[in-house]
Amino acid sequence: MDKKENYNLFLTAEQKEKLRRIRHLALDMDGTIYMENNLFPFTIQTLDALKAAGVGHSFLTNNPTKSVGDYVAKLARMGIDCAWEDMYTTPIATIDYIKKTYPQVKRLFMLGTPSMREQFVQAGFVSCEDDPADRPDMLIVAFDTTLVYPRLCRAAWWAKQGIPYIATNPDWVCPTDAETVLVDCGSLQKCIEAATGRRPDKVMGKPDPTMLDGIRDRHGLRPEEIAMVGDRIYTDIEMGRRAGAVSVLVLSGETTLETALKAGTADFITRDLEELGYLILESRKQL
């Protein structure tokens, strides 16, 4: 990693101690380690250097459009070694939540990609068709890059009927380096709310701390030993705050420096993951 002389002069003693305590990074993906399909050039080198220093990592994403297997394969193609148990997605969190909270629910009408819907089917649920006679037990709304208008209308219909309604994530848009806006799950929720007056009964994913709690328990960590690293204030940083973890906002994705400084909620603001890695490694040299 590039050396940044005297950067630590701008950190307080408290900040340096927070950096020294970090043993695990909970990494947002899109906007943090890559942008869409383009891996940032510093990602692998930074993760390898931190791992050698005893700082592990897991990958989190609010993007439900792919299965865990899809994400593991995607990361492998980019040169990142990731085990299934190191990946936390909102469909997995949603499946676990339904089974725990609504054990009687079996039939789902879902706005989501075929890959996402297949995860629920593999978990034992039935995917209902776009048919008023095929009544679901629950409505699931997710980021759906395959969405067609009739299915959006059917989702609004089932929301209006008062059945349990869960959204996989609150994100308004998905980061992209293309010249477009990728309308995400939070925007679909607002569309349904405007048409029916109905909000989800539960919104999974960041900033809900469930996935971060799972990392804590799986690795036997304390909250302050985990750094939640991401590019969004209202999901990544808020999740870290709710879980009691160290929150690190990187400027390689959605959030600008002006917005980050105005919000003032992150423990650290760094240019990108590389800069965070440098700070963590430097903090250990001072022991």
Q: Taking the domains of the chain in order of start, what are their residue ranges? A: 12-62+206-285, 91-203
Q: What is the CA radius of gyration of the chain?
A: 20
Instruction: Give the per-residue pLDDT at 174.
Output: 86
d(C-alpha 229, C-alpha 78), whole Å: 20
Instruction: Give the per-residue pLDDT at 5.
Output: 47
- Asked if 12-62+206-285 and 91-203 have one fold, the answer is yes
**What parts of the chain have a pLDDT lower than 50?**
1-3, 5-7
Classify burial at 70, counting beta carbons within 10 Å of its beta carbon; exposed 0-12, middle 13-18, buried 19 or more: middle
> Which structure tokens are listed for 209?
């701390």
The CATH number of 12-62+206-285, from 3.40.50.720, 2.60.40.1930, 3.40.50.1000, 3.40.50.2300, is 3.40.50.1000
Instruction: Give the per-residue pLDDT at 286.
Output: 62
d(C-alpha 109, C-alpha 188), whole Å: 15
Class of domain 91-203: alpha beta
Instruction: Give the per-residue pLDDT at 6.
Output: 47
Instruction: For the full predicted model, state whether its pTM sits above 0.85.
Output: no
Instruction: Give the per-residue pLDDT at 155.
Output: 98
Instruction: Give the per-residue pLDDT at 9.
Output: 54
Instruction: Give the per-residue pLDDT at 273.
Output: 97
